[in-house]
A and B are shown apart, each in its own frame.
Chain A
Amino acid sequence: MADSALHSPPLHTGQEIEFDRAKIRRDMIIRRIGKVGMAFNPIFAYFFLWAPIIILVVFSFNNAETVSVWRGFTTQWYQNIFTNALSAGTESARFSTEIMLTSVGNSLFVALVTTIISTVIGTMVAMSLVRGNFPGKSVMDAVLYLPVVIPEITQAISLAVFFRIVFDFVNNANDGLRAAPGFGTIIIGHVAFCISYVTIVVRARFADMNPRLEEAARDLGANEWRTFWRVTFPLILPGVIAGGLLAFTISLDDFIVTFFVSGIGTTTLPIFVYGLLKTRVPPEINAISTLMLVASTVLVGVSLIMQGRNAGKN
């Protein structure tokens, strides 16, 4: 009913309008407080987030053995880790640059193989989740996030138990086969949770992609295979690279799963660093950690840039 407009008195033409100055002033103050709050909120949050890391980086250049007081700038600890020497008081028997570099090599090897396998599988999973139409798709879509949210320790233990069962089975089978934890188990463990990350990133890219583009390719005479390689893949490639870099970083950094499923001679860098920490915290740890931080940051940064690339929607 048009009547409802009559319940409040109308503004007559020519009538002077009075503003409620007090109310306006009050609202302006609230707005100003809001603005200041908006600026400070992230500062607090970021302080908690970054303070420990900044301290670590700063003290990796601290000219002192103990990590509590600043005594000047040095690159001593960085030099130490590359010259077989550890600061006094550390049992240097447990440290050698060679062993460290071997563990770096192991980490890189595991990360590389993990990345390749999980990227290929993750991309295929993403494709069927977005484009496919099969029973149980929505359930699979939902459980995709599970490996991301369940505690890593749970994953680690479940993998350890899983491998124990498999190895018992294989080793008791009396067929001469012998199996033991090693790179295989680490890589399988890493792939198991990296697939989720890759799938999530690539799926977002797929979902952003205009399905008409693939139809256009087929309309113009490309069969499914050529459509994929000429149109789909180039367009999701930034997502695939981003997912791969993410998998690489996660694998490189992983400690818990690796710790539970690794065997002899497959020490990765995080495991090696943990070994050094057993007695006390030598300042070289700060240096190694800083280097790992830089490497991860670069990889994740590139991954984010790739994810942000124009998704091919016009």
Chain B
Amino acid sequence: MTQQPYDVELINVIKEFASPRKDGLVRAVDDVSLQISDGEFFALLGPSGCGKTTTLRMIAGFEDTSSGQILIRGNAVQDVPPFHRPVNTVFQDYALFPHMTALQNVMFGLEMEGVSRSEAKQRATEALELVQLPQAADRKPRQLSGGMQQRVALARALVKRPAVLLLDEPLSALDLKLREDMRYELKAMQKTLGITFIFVTHDQEEAMTMADRIAVMDRGKVLQVGTPEEIYETPATMFVADFIGETNFLRGKLVGQEGQYGVIELDSATTMRAMCGENPPAKGVETTVAIRPEKLTLFPVNGQVKYPDGSFDTAEAYRTAILKDPDIEVREGTIRQAVYIGTDTRYVVGIGKDRNMELTVRLQNYGLRSDAFFEKGQAVYVFWDSENARVLTS
């Protein structure tokens, strides 16, 4: 039985550089293994300096691996120079040839393949149309805006019809608005063309918006690979949880088990339940619980709660009602800070027996602001579904 090989496969790839002071080696990429399938939009996500560019450069062939293997469609490519790899790159600074027009830039790769000038010109023109830049064909790169240069770089790489397109932070030099538009455009283009994209970014929103799967990297290592939803909802480590979106971390000790949940003691008077992963910590071990701010909700301790249908109830009655759901947990707290930020309001709530454990809560401003606004110092109940709390072991 033959299995369709992955488009790109990295097997235990390590890359070491001489350290800046030449007194040893630094690991830019540390034992990375990845499998990227045909037609996938794959993002390498991580903070600056975590080894994303180096990984990409090894796939493109600009850097050798120190150890490990890279396979492209099942072929080991150690000894294959960049100009023989079925892979093309959109560079972070675009790297357009400044002495050539946009059209000549796009034609370059075809001429290197030995395509006739007239055919190269036609295909290059089509590529510029694909990126909606036919009018810029005869302009030099310096006469083009950043966004236009980025499109030319894209056309120049795509015209080669590569098996895999590598993109190194291609949107980072663009204005915010353009950058956001380009996310959807790139994604749509990738789906139409069916080319495998490996996309490097340090912007988690960018990765979440575009990628089919994301590999989160930190200090040369891949910490987690998964769909945007998996990465966001079930982060494997504290780093992943912290890097992707906002997260509350609470330190505590695992003291027991309650159904599918582990019970964590936050302080002598406060516990909470949380999902344990595949290898739960032993009892009594210090662990961290993570829960996203938008999974938390507030209602006042004193006063009334307004339901969506407009009716009111007392806080106490409301509390009793929601606690009928066995997965819901409610804790008392005090508002420490309230910041209105448009789409939602961000609260910091102190919980626990001394109210010194902080939880960030985000409440969407779906109604009038005055409807759901809590003041600093106000006593509140925080509640959440325990399924959304997770024990992280590293």
Contacts and interface: CB of A to CB of B under 8 A. Distances in A.
A213 B97 contact: yes
A141 to B, nearest CB: 16
A226 interface: yes
Contact of B82 (A213, A218, A230, A235): A218
A312 interface: yes
B160 A221 contact: yes
A210 B93 contact: yes
Given A212-B91, A215-B62, A221 B112 contact: yes
B17 interface: no
B88 A219 contact: yes
B36 interface: no
A171 interface: no
Given A220-B160, A221-B113, A230-B108, A314 B93 contact: yes
Contact of A314 (B89, B149, B156): B149
B83 A314 contact: no
A210 B99 contact: no
Contact of B81 (A220, A223, A234): A223
A132 B156 CA distance: 28
A217 interface: yes
Nearest to B141: A314
Contact of A312 (B87, B99, B149): B99
Contacts of B83: 218-223
A310 interface: yes
Contacts of B93: 210, 212, 314
Contacts of B81: 218, 223
Contacts of A310: 98, 142
Contacts of B97: 213, 216-217, 231
Nearest to A213: B95
A288 B159 CA distance: 60
B78 to A, nearest CB: 16
Give the size range of B's interface with the partner: 20 to 34
Contact of B112 (A222, A234, A313): A222
B95 A210 contact: yes
Contacts of A235: 98-99
Contact of A219 (B82, B96, B113): B82
Nearest to A222: B112
Give the size range of A's interface with the partner: 20 to 34
A206 to B, nearest CB: 15
B228 interface: no
A314 B82 contact: no
B94 interface: yes
Nearest to B91: A212
Interface string B131-159: 00000000001100000010000001100
Contact of A217 (B60, B61, B108, B141): B108
B109 interface: yes
Contacts of B96: 216, 314
B143 to A, nearest CB: 11
* Most central of B82, B113, B141 by chain A CB within 10 Å: B82
The 4 tightest CB contacts between A and B, nearest first, are A220-B109, A221-B112, A212-B95, A216-B95
28 contacts: A210-B93, A212-B91, A212-B93, A212-B95, A215-B62, A216-B89, A216-B95, A216-B96, A216-B97, A217-B108, A218-B81, A219-B89, A219-B157, A220-B112, A220-B156, A221-B109, A221-B112, A222-B108, A222-B112, A223-B83, A231-B97, A235-B99, A310-B142, A314-B93, A314-B94, A314-B141, A314-B142, A314-B149
Interface of A: 210, 212-213, 215-223, 226, 230-231, 234-235, 310, 312-314
Interface of B: 60-62, 81-83, 87-89, 91, 93-99, 108-109, 112-113, 141-142, 149, 156-157, 160
Given A215-B60, A218-B83, 18 more contacts: A212-B91, A212-B93, A216-B89, A217-B108, A218-B62, A218-B81, A220-B83, A220-B108, A221-B109, A222-B83, A222-B112, A223-B83, A231-B97, A234-B99, A310-B142, A313-B98, A314-B93, A314-B94
